[in-house]
Amino acid sequence: MPDVGEGLTEAEILKWYVQPGDTVTDGQVVCEVETAKAAVELPIPFDGTVHALLFEEGTTVDVGQVIISVQTGEAQAPEAAAAAVAPAPAAAPVPAEAAEEPAAAARQPVLVGYGVSQASTKRRPRKAAPAAQNGSAAAGQPAGPPPPEAAPAPPPRRNGNGHAAGERPLAKPPVRKLAKDLGIDLAAVVPTGEGGVVTREDVHAAAAAAITPQTAVSAPAPAVSAAAVPVAAQAEAPAAGDARETRVPVKGVRKVTAQAMVNSAFTAPHVTEFITFDVTRTMKLVQELKEDPDLAGLRINPLLLVAKAVLVAIRRNPDVNASWDEAAQEIVLKHYVNLGIAAATPRGLIVPNIKDAHAKTLGELSTALSELVATARDGKTSPADMQNGTITITNVGVFGVDTGTPILNPGESAILAVGAIKLQPWVHKGKVKPRHVTTLALSFDHRLIDGELGSKFLADIAAVLEHPRRLVTWA
């Protein structure tokens, strides 16, 4: 499993496009995986014939683990083929790095040109089986001519634990007893504990999943491995029988989002300010731009003008566009704007960003915004598109919400929540009239942005949207 994005440690195999015996060519896509934020297609880096698929669809695999074995066009000795297929290091209880060192000089059967990451496994080493220990000891003796060996059979596919069939799951004695009392097969339970250890909660979740109308009057049946069930089906399936709770494994987008939000909330001191104002003129400008032949075919909406207003306000208050370097104890001022747009997708919330948004015209910004949203909803956003953001906009108004207190995207200085635009009674030129009104909420990192600077920045955004001619006069 290659690292398809900086910092990723695991990915879930969504779909295999090949089967054992299929012929593959260099660059051919062999599978689709879901990383922390997006679905990515993985190509194979050489020609050959698929020997084995080492993990089932729906399995989460650590970066660096071998997921597919391919017999290349070169005549491979049986020993070499076995090494290419083996999903784990030698049976002797030694670190994975040491077991893989002898083959380091040879090209590894990994995808998209990445090397196998060192120390990628998170699980503690197991004691080798007696036969394997004997074989390992024999390997330490002077080697004679190797006896002829039959071609190795494809290794068994792994279950949701990432263990081969028959491998003893990791669990503490009380958990094993609980599983035995509930009639749960530990090998079929997806572990969530550190190092792949099955916890009491995992067993209870498996027991709840096993309760169905058919089994309510009979002995409990082993729970079905979550790896054998599509992710969407797990999330959408209602609680079976009389179960009062449904447990959904925290992984993928939800897992990374949770970690990022906790880190941000307890690292950057958040301050949130609000402003409510009249955007009637902006709404009229949106209608005029939609009818402009020079902008024909472009998506023109209030969010586009909000983005442009943010860029103008950053130009007037450049110190808000910064980041905090804790290690160096420095404030890094950014002379570019990578404008993040929070996007709700079927896989969860992601925040891709428009690179160098400050340098784009209104038409270019519209095109970039449309492409960003479409790519995110299709689940094709690349990890690079979600890195190095500076300031983010989240449009909660599309859900009819007035505003909120958004949490900073990690590493960024501010995030602007745009509320719903509604017709409300408003005092305009001394008279109460129905006007389009909205509320903005700006959360910012108080280490970087003082109250005065944050207030000026938010006020400037509102001023541009209240009188959109400032898009020209202030630009």
Catalytic site positions: 446
Instruction: Go through the chain and tell me how many residues it has.
Output: 475
Backbone dihedral region for residue 19 (phi beyond 0: left; psi -120 to 50: alpha; all else: beta): beta
C-beta separation of 446 from 413 below 8 A: no
- How far, in whole angstroms, is CA 350 from its chain's centroid? 8
For 173, list phi and psi in degrees, rounded to 5. Answer: -55, -45
Strands 431-445 and 414-418: antiparallel
For residue 154, how many C-alpha atoms fall within 13 Å in the half-sphere facing its CB? 18
Q: How far apart are the C-alpha atoms of 241 and 260, rounded to whole Å?
A: 36
DSSP string, 333-361: E-SS--EEE-EEETTEEE--EETTGGG--
CB-based contact 412:340 (threshold 8 Å): yes
Q: Which residues contact 412 (CB under 8 A, 6 or more apart)?
A: 323, 340, 389, 390, 391, 392, 445
Pick from 352, 382, 384, 379: nearest CA to 368: 352
Distance CA 255, CA 11 (A): 12
Question: What would the two tokens of residue 77 be?
Answer: 């000795």
Is 56:13 a contact under the CB 8 Å cutoff?
yes
CA distance 416 to 449: 14
